[in-house]
Structure 1
Amino acid sequence: MKRLSKAIYPAPEYPETILQIGEGNFMRGFINWHIQKLNDCTDFKGKAVVVPPRKGSVAALNEQDGLYTLCIQGYHDQQEMNERMIIQSISRGISTYTDYEKFLHVAENPNLRYAFSNTTEAGLVFRKEDRLEDRPQASFPGKLTAFLYHRFKAFAGDEQKGLIILPCELVEQNGDRLKEYVISMAAEWELPPAFITWIKKANTFCNTLVDRIVPGFSKEAAEIVQKEEGYIDELLVTAEYYHLFVIEAPAFVQKELPFQEAGLNVLFVEDIAPYRMSKVRILNGAHTAMVPIAYSCGLETVKEAVDDEHVGPFVRCMLEEEVLPGLELPEDELLLYTQSVWDRFCNPFVKHQLLDIALNGISKFRTRNLPSLLDYVERKKQLPMKLVFSLSSLIYFYRAHAGRVKDDETVLTLMKEAWEGENPSNEGVAAKILSCESLWGRDLTDINGLSQAVADQLTLIQTHGMRAAVHRMMPNQYESQGEKA
């Protein structure tokens, strides 16, 4: 049986107008689907050149000519939705590790107008060690700076050749931050002042918020496609029906990217902050909090976690008691959104693997959960013990399931050294990990009682097992002891 490709599914040829940094499931189940909808329903007519931010392979993508199947499954207006379509909005993939010059050559394309990215929270960082001469630069901002400088030179600083840049990483003010990193990188490399002026004037960096659960490849769905459509698709992606794309940008961006004309749930807003905070802390925060707990209870998917008699109620109580009170939107809106998130977690069509969410868990906790923890301490002057338990479980997860953890090598080394160091007691482990500012952005041992609480919870988990530990957390026995921060 043949693999999906243009040989069996001819696709229209459109110009490459988009640089896409990120080849993972989310981008293919969200951004490339948006682009497909633009091409189908408007005069947009463009395709994306896809570049992995790390040492990812693009062989499968190119073997399938950029084509893959997207299966959208879930409920909308109480109606079951089960759509299947072939996404044709990717032209090709390029690896900067094997074809760096080909990557730079894309910058010379006069039709290029947009850049989308999702390199996870761990990818949107400033790495001072990057150099212009590197092939490639290790960081995403480094690669983008080199790419933009090549474009600046190729078009002699023409301000009409700037890009509209929409980073999709779940980082606060992601567009502003990426712009800051690119400018800092240019200064670090001592590039011409005219280039920095061009970055500021010719390019538009947009703050964004993305929301869709994209579990990725499904063996079951792939077998159905193979049987019913008669082709093999190694890049098939499953996604829920729900989607939201919030963009903070000048008015002209909405005209150039007419998502709403394509019937998409895209909001162009003046201030993205309230939307971002609610989504990241509720949906993504729940995901990150549940992963180490649920996986250590022997569960494998998000649906199994929320259906579990111990894990589900624990995560729901954590949200309602410790997360929602710190958010800006009205309480009734937050409760409605929380319920909608829970309904999406329970989607029987979506098999979202916990280990997929576990990728770069430390940086995700820092972005998604730590702000809720800190806000609670600021408001209540005591520790939010369920959020603290999710932190303790994460630290335990990096030890108990070390072989399954995927994270930056620096993070893995720090966690391993903490567990195997001179002071292997839980108090010593907690103190060493929580004091590491490179992990959390600050020394968390400054929070009164946190280090001891984490140590106590690690002992609880190790002594009784995760399931029993979660059960013991539910009667709020820590709070009744008056644990103060």
Structure 2
Amino acid sequence: MTGRLTAATQLPDGVAGPGYDPQAHGSGIVHLGLGAFHKAHQAVYTDDALAASGGDWRITGVSLRSATAAQELAPQDCRYAVLERSVDGTRARVIGALAAALALSRDRAAVLAALRAPATRIVSLTVTEKAYGIDRAGGGIDRAHPAIAADLADPRHPQGVAGLLVRALADRRAAGVPPFTVLCCDNLPENGRMLRALLVDFARATLPKLADHIACDVAFPSTMVDRITPARGAGTLALAQRMLGVHDAAAVETEAFRQWVVEDRFPTGRPAWQAGGAIFVDDVRPYEALKLRMLNGAHSLLAYAGFLAGHALVRDVMGDAALAALVARHMAAAAATLDPVPGVDPDTYADDLLKRFANPHLAHETWQIAMDGTEKLPQRIWAPACDALRAGQPLDSFAFATAAWMRYALGRADDGTSYELRDPREQALRQRLAGAASAGDIADRLLALPDLIPAPLAGDPGWRAAVVSRLSVMLTDGMAAAIAGEPR
């Protein structure tokens, strides 16, 4: 094997490097959740901003659980390649925006020091929906969530998002340092407002005098992020080595498309992310609903139905004409529940999504998308379904997606093969479904699961009938037959 990618690597022709001297810029952002999506999205926008306008805006990346990302990046001077895959080919680009890569499990003191540092003006997050510990019913903390429970018991040594941020904000206030802006970049509705409510509630339980400071003095702009980024595989690393001529243990592959819509509320400043195409708005909610319902909702439908129909990858789903038609139908149903979005034509947006899903060069696994369904489906499927119910619009696609999730929740494929659900409520799902056999019994048990499916939907007889009829076909005839039998 050849050498390892570092800051000193001479990149081959056709591979772009940072358009600035990374060492001339300090860190001004701490990012929690140092995964592939951050490396393909926010870090790329920051790389563009540094090239265009400079500033001390490099990123200290933090993994809250595994130390793998930090171990991959540290020997490479935190450099890594983003491989942009499109029908026109692959473009490689080496990113220099990361200044440091830390893991909370081994670098706790350094993580807390970075969060306390006056130079840190933004803390951004991509930790996935399940990591926050949100009480879905009340909007505050879920005291049964493992990280929340641990941090309530020992707030001086935080493990989770709420405990870590509240501790850092308390330390900054005690030192007379202004609070950082908290920038949630996960797929949650009104994610900034959600995170504010979470931290305020956690502070009330641990540091009551800090709660009003967080509620009134800390900025929590909401965001909408979009870039399809599959989990990295061996093929990613092999492609990176062919294109770079050296080994890159931290390479990521993604699509060429990217989008970032951000509420422009940054009291202590921000990078010039608009240089990379970021859109700054007063209210992100219309864009957020568009993406959650049309892209993410369709992704969930195709993940459950596609996985059970034997399609391992999204591109395979889009090659199945019957299932691809249901994906398009779902986008139209979701679009009907939306308010107008400035500058966006829903039909054009849907057409572009279908092309992105069909990208032949992205190996995006349906099983990856299917994980954490109890965290994702409330905003992706059931919120628009509630709106459709109120408006008297067809519920077919939402009912099909729900039935597909219920079928998936049984944990066995049509051929009897078992699989892990990879859901934070997996144990509760399995316990509730134990002994259930008929479609009606399965549906009733899951419709009654606390704090999941909204009551107006779960209690509607027409909705139940629509779900049960589809689930019955899936159970008796298989997923492929259920797909074929759906109206287009």
Q: Confirm or deny a common fold (TM above 0.5).
A: yes
After TM superposition, the structure 1 = structure 2 runs for residues 311-390 of structure 1, keeping only pairs within 5 Å, are 311-320=323-332, 322-329=333-340, 333-380=345-392, 384-390=395-401
Equivalent residue number for residue 476 of structure 2: 463
Q: Paired residue for 1:416, among 430, 434, 438?
A: 430
Structure 2 vs 1, CA of residues 332 and 89 (structure 1 numbering), >3 Å: closer, same or farther?
closer
Instruction: Provide the secondary structure at the position in 2 that maps to 1:329.
Output: coil
| In structure 2, distance between residues paired with 1:251 and 1:165 | 9
| In structure 2, distance between residues paired with 1:135 and 1:99 | 15
Equivalent residue number for residue 162 of structure 1: 179
Instruction: Provide the secondary structure at the position in 2 that maps to 1:457.
Output: helix
CA contact (8 A) 1:246 1:267 kept: yes
Residues 293-317 of structure 1: per-residue CA shift (max 9 Å, x gap): 0111111222211221221011112
Equivalent residue number for residue 3 of structure 1: 4
Equivalent residue number for residue 142 of structure 1: 163
Instruction: Provide the secondary structure at the position in 2 that maps to 1:115.
Output: strand
| In structure 1, distance between residues paired with 2:51 and 2:344 | 37
CA contact (8 A) 2:399 2:466 kept: yes
Structure 2 vs 1, CA of residues 97 and 135 (structure 1 numbering), >3 Å: closer, same or farther?
farther
After TM superposition, the structure 1 = structure 2 runs for residues 35-50 of structure 1, keeping only pairs within 5 Å, are 35-50=46-61
| In structure 1, distance between residues paired with 2:324 and 2:385 | 20
CA contact (8 A) 1:310 1:467 kept: no
Equivalent residue number for residue 21 of structure 1: 32
1:403 to 2:419 alignment: yes
Equivalent residue number for residue 90 of structure 1: 98
Q: Paired residue for 1:120, among 106, 109, 128?
A: 128
Residues 409-437 of structure 1: per-residue CA shift (max 9 Å, x gap): xx10011112214x443322221111112
> What one-letter code is carried by the residue in structure 1 that aligns with 2:270?
E
CA contact (8 A) 2:46 2:271 kept: no
| In structure 2, distance between residues paired with 1:170 and 1:442 | 23
> What one-letter code is carried by the residue in structure 1 that aligns with 2:439?
N
| In structure 2, distance between residues paired with 1:378 and 1:42 | 48
| In structure 2, distance between residues paired with 1:114 and 1:417 | 42
Instruction: Give the superposition deviation at 1:252.
Output: 5.8
CA contact (8 A) 2:439 2:475 kept: no
CA contact (8 A) 1:117 1:168 kept: yes
Instruction: Provide the secondary structure at the position in 2 that maps to 1:97.
Output: coil
Q: Which moved more, 1:43-52 or 1:20-29?
A: 43-52
| In structure 2, distance between residues paired with 1:424 and 1:146 | 48
> What one-letter code is carried by the residue in structure 1 that aligns with 2:33?
G
Q: Paired residue for 1:12, among 15, 22, 38?
A: 22
Instruction: Give the superposition deviation at 1:224.
Output: 3.1
| In structure 1, distance between residues paired with 2:456 and 2:337 | 22
Instruction: Provide the secondary structure at the position in 2 that maps to 1:429.
Output: helix
Q: Which moved more, 1:91-100 or 1:5-14?
A: 5-14
| In structure 2, distance between residues paired with 1:395 and 1:151 | 46
Instruction: Provide the secondary structure at the position in 1 that maps to 2:230.
Output: coil
Equivalent residue number for residue 104 of structure 1: 112
| In structure 2, distance between residues paired with 1:332 and 1:94 | 39
| In structure 2, distance between residues paired with 1:139 and 1:290 | 31
Q: Which moved more, 1:10-19 or 1:431-440?
A: 10-19
Instruction: Give the superposition deviation at 1:33.
Output: 0.8
Structure 2 vs 1, CA of residues 190 and 5 (structure 1 numbering), >3 Å: closer, same or farther?
same
1:425 to 2:438 alignment: yes
Structure 2 vs 1, CA of residues 463 and 338 (structure 1 numbering), >3 Å: closer, same or farther?
same
Q: Paired residue for 1:190, among 207, 210, 230?
A: 207
CA contact (8 A) 1:132 1:189 kept: no
CA contact (8 A) 2:22 2:97 kept: no
| In structure 1, distance between residues paired with 2:330 and 2:387 | 14
| In structure 1, distance between residues paired with 2:331 and 2:31 | 34
Residues 95-145 of structure 1: per-residue CA shift (max 9 Å, x gap): 223333332222232211111111222233223333272575454223221
Structure 2 vs 1, CA of residues 66 and 246 (structure 1 numbering), >3 Å: closer, same or farther?
same
Q: Paired residue for 1:445, among 444, 454, 458?
A: 458
| In structure 2, distance between residues paired with 1:228 and 1:257 | 30
Equivalent residue number for residue 173 of structure 1: 190
> What one-letter code is carried by the residue in structure 2 that aligns with 1:210?
V
| In structure 1, distance between residues paired with 2:446 and 2:66 | 28
TM-score normalized by structure 1?
0.87
Q: Paired residue for 2:405, among 361, 375, 394?
A: 394
| In structure 2, distance between residues paired with 1:112 and 1:333 | 38
| In structure 2, distance between residues paired with 1:64 and 1:444 | 51
Structure 2 vs 1, CA of residues 252 and 137 (structure 1 numbering), >3 Å: closer, same or farther?
closer
Structure 2 vs 1, CA of residues 432 and 310 (structure 1 numbering), >3 Å: closer, same or farther?
same
CA contact (8 A) 2:59 2:100 kept: yes
> What one-letter code is carried by the residue in structure 2 that aligns with 1:43?
G
CA contact (8 A) 2:155 2:206 kept: no
Structure 2 vs 1, CA of residues 405 and 5 (structure 1 numbering), >3 Å: closer, same or farther?
farther
| In structure 2, distance between residues paired with 1:127 and 1:142 | 13
In structure 1, stretches of 5+ residues that fail to align are 476-485
Q: Paired residue for 1:203, among 212, 218, 225?
A: 218
| In structure 2, distance between residues paired with 1:182 and 1:277 | 23
> What one-letter code is carried by the residue in structure 1 that aligns with 2:487?
M
CA contact (8 A) 2:125 2:183 kept: yes
CA contact (8 A) 1:435 1:443 kept: no
Equivalent residue number for residue 481 of structure 1: none
Equivalent residue number for residue 276 of structure 1: 288
1:225 to 2:240 alignment: yes
CA contact (8 A) 1:29 1:214 kept: yes
Equivalent residue number for residue 137 of structure 2: none
Instruction: Give the superposition deviation at 1:204.
Output: 1.5
| In structure 1, distance between residues paired with 2:377 and 2:67 | 24
